[in-house]
Structure 1
Amino acid sequence: MRLLNPRSIGKHAVMIFLSLFAVFPFYWMIVSSFRPEGEIYSASLLPKHWTWSNYEYAFQSIPVLSMLSNTAVMSIVQTVCQLGMALLAAYAFARWVFPGSRVMYMLFALTWLIPFQVTMIPNYVQISAWDWRNTLLGLIVPNMVSAFAIMSMTQSFRAFPKGIIEAAWVDGASSWSILWRMFVPNMRAPIASLGILLFINSWNEYFWPLLLTNKLEKSVIQIGLQMFMSSDANAWGPLMAAAVITSLPILIVYLVLQRQIIESFVKMGLK
């Protein structure tokens, strides 16, 4: 009966409206990817004539599969490296108080506040000197450490009961054992939430690959999307098709891990 009262109905109506408002752009992108060129500006919710020509054009115009594989490798490796570095640094900051620890933590925080435009030229010069342009190493190495990940993980580790850590230390457990047998199993929710954020951020990376690569087969899918836009005309149909292809991996990950993703964010919010 509580679900039928006017207040509850009003709340659910607002939530349904906001959900539709959020999902509609994604729906419009999918529908537009199946519209022929003559219907691309149509306001109808469904195309009158469905076509696969936009997808064929997208696959013919850019090396979609190689760009997707480059993006996937870059995102996975960067996420693993950033999480690993964050775990090690967060354990050090949360476990020990050593001379200069506060200063070092503040330096990490300051690097997070520095705009990417300030560091991209020095990084580009160094990567070019190593002859890593148009390579996955060049895309990955400058982003192997994330100040945001270190700061987030440090705050989660500092909330861990210190009495349990001291008891394990007295029992003879090493720092490595405490990290992997105590911290990591009990911090799965914040680690999973942070990993998801890092993966999405890496997947959507645009400016660094744009600066470092000039060959489409060596670049990432976000650069491929830009190829459908020009000053003369925009190929909206193929662009929507390429955008759908780009979004599919993230959508599949969410559908497969939906329960774990929601649970991890809820637990992270409660902490």
Structure 2
Amino acid sequence: MQRKKKDIGAVIIHLFLIAGVIIVAFPFVWMILSSLKSISDFYNFTFLPKKIDWSGYEYIFKETEFLRWYWNSIVVAIIVTISCLIFNSLVGYVLAKHRFPGAKVVFILILSTLMIPTEMLVIPWYMMGSDFGWVDTFWGIMFPGLIEAFGIFLIRQFMLGVPDDILDAARIDGMGEFKIWWRIALPQVKPALSALGIITFLGNWNAYLWPVIITATDNMRTLPVGISLFSTADAGGIKWNLIMCMSTMAVIPMIIVFLFFQKRIVEGIALTGVKG
């Protein structure tokens, strides 16, 4: 009787999980199918395309700067992610493993920046970018995210769990601090680095507000900004099929990142909850 109750409970749980998967996956499936519809089929509100139409993909590759926007997003996301992993881990290591006057004050000041909404920062960012000639450049798009308070906080919390004895032993053996950070400390916090890298990459891949402000020409627009150009109606209406084609292509890197690093994502989230 008890086993029967467990079996019923397992069936109910699996039904809820299946329902959740359907709810989450449906928008993606609908987006992909809609990208294969003609604009007339799109407005017929049918789930499946009456006839597979590749003209939307042909149009975005031949008639727009889609590939350029794609490349810009890849460059920005990769460089910012690498920068965050390096500088956030360096600062996190110093704050966690070095005692110096004002360390707690510095950490609190860094954390306090998390309470400032991004919308309040875009004006000083833009003024700074304009003064230095960074408007409509890769550097202008990237500089606000090259080091972030959340990443410093995350890495510091993990670094606190690295045994001091290991670091002291490395110092006795004659290792410099940079080498200790690179060869001893970083390998101990791989789950945190993986989680931070994934979050940073996806955040910059999907970023819209700052890139749309700092860019002015088609050549420097990122993918979200480029896609948004097609969201305004013209004489022929909004080209929803083109938006779906671009959006379908845009999710490919995110799917690849998730498939390769899904184990690290789970580890990072789980360990973040238990670090003091």
- What is the TM-score when the length of structure 1 is the normalising length? 0.92
Q: How does 1:196-215 map to 2 (within 5 A)?
A: 196-215=198-217
Q: How does 1:250-265 map to 2 (within 5 A)?
A: 250-265=254-269
Q: 2 CA distance for matches of 1:138 and 1:24?
A: 37
The residue type paired with residue 162 of structure 2 is: F
Q: How does 1:27-38 map to 2 (within 5 A)?
A: 27-38=29-40
Percent of aligned pairs with the same amino acid: 31
TM-aligned CA distance change 1:3 to 1:33, over 3 Å: farther
Q: Is the 8 A contact 2:208 2:224 kept in 1?
A: yes
Q: Is the 8 A contact 2:198 2:257 kept in 1?
A: no
In the TM superposition, what whole-angstrom CA distance separates every residue of 1:41-62 from its partner, at most 9, and x where no partner exists?
3443311111011212323453
Q: 1 CA distance for matches of 2:5 and 2:41?
A: 43
In the TM superposition, what whole-angstrom CA distance separates every residue of 1:78-123 from its partner, at most 9, and x where no partner exists?
1111111111101110111211111111111111221122221122
Which of the residues 62, 70, 77 maps onto 2:79? 77
Q: 2 CA distance for matches of 1:188 and 1:243?
A: 31
Q: In the alignment, does 2:253 pair up with 1:249? A: yes
Structure 2: segments with no counterpart, 5+ residues:
none
Q: 2 CA distance for matches of 1:48 and 1:269?
A: 48
Q: Is the 8 A contact 1:29 1:244 kept in 2?
A: yes
Partner of 1:230: 232
Aligned partner of residue 132 in structure 1, secondary structure: coil
Q: 1 CA distance for matches of 2:112 and 2:73?
A: 28
TM-aligned CA distance change 1:253 to 1:160, over 3 Å: same
Q: Is the 8 A contact 2:35 2:244 kept in 1?
A: yes
Q: CA deviation at 1:254?
A: 2.6
Partner of 1:123: 125
Q: Is the 8 A contact 1:3 1:9 kept in 2?
A: no
Computed over aligned residues only, the root mean square deviation of the Cα atoms, in angstroms, reads 2.1
The residue type paired with residue 219 of structure 2 is: E
Partner of 1:146: 148
The residue type paired with residue 191 of structure 2 is: A
Q: Is the 8 A contact 1:89 1:150 kept in 2?
A: yes
Q: 2 CA distance for matches of 1:162 and 1:194?
A: 23
Aligned partner of residue 231 in structure 2, secondary structure: coil
Q: 1 CA distance for matches of 2:148 and 2:25?
A: 30
In the TM superposition, what whole-angstrom CA distance separates every residue of 1:11-69 from its partner, at most 9, and x where no partner exists?
11111110111111111100000111122134433111110112123234530111111
Higher deviation after alignment, 166-175 or 69-78: 166-175
Partner of 1:187: 189
In the TM superposition, what whole-angstrom CA distance separates every residue of 1:203-245 from its partner, at most 9, and x where no partner exists?
1111111111111111101111111111553211111001011
Aligned partner of residue 217 in structure 1, secondary structure: helix
Q: Is the 8 A contact 2:215 2:221 kept in 1?
A: yes
Higher deviation after alignment, 65-74 or 4-13: 4-13
Q: In the alignment, does 2:15 pair up with 1:13? A: yes
Aligned residues: 271
Aligned partner of residue 45 in structure 1, secondary structure: coil
Structure 1: segments with no counterpart, 5+ residues:
none
The residue type paired with residue 248 of structure 2 is: V
Partner of 2:112: 110
Partner of 2:101: 99
